């Protein structure tokens, strides 16, 4: 099943949130980050290494908030750890 097929399959708002980009620069979703945490990632550096997040930072252009995703990733680590 392709990423788009899987994305279209989900129904609940909570499921849909897992397909939202957190790191827009490297197209890393909330789900990618949660899976990394479930796999043992504990720090921002772990998430960067496992998912590739923050590897090609150009946040002012790519992220709709204009900010880097680092704090958003840290919040997800706190919630799911």
Q: Which residues bind ligand FES (CB under 6 A)?
A: 23-25, 53-54, 57, 59, 62-63, 68-69
Of 29 and 63, CB closest to ligand FES:
63
Of 1 and 79, CB closest to ligand FES:
79
- Residue 12 CB, nearest distance to ligand FES (Å)? 25
Of 8 and 65, CB closest to ligand FES:
65
Cβ proximity of 48 and 67 under 8 Å: no
- Residue 36 CB, nearest distance to ligand FES (Å)? 14
> Roughly what angle, to the nearest 10 degrees, separates helices 44-51 and 70-80?
100
Residue 29: both structure tokens together: 């979703």
Cβ proximity of 69 and 29 under 8 Å: no
């Amino acid at each position: 099943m392709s990423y788009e097929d899987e994305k279209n399959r989900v129904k609940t708002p909570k499921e849909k949130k897992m397909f939202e980009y957190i790191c827009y620069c490297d197209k890393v979703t909330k789900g990618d980050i949660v899976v990394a945490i479930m796999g043992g990632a504990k720090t921002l550096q772990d998430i960067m290494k496992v998912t590739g997040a923050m590897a090609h930072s150009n946040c002012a252009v790519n992220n709709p908030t204009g900010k880097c995703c680092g704090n958003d990733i840290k919040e997800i680590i706190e919630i799911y750890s």
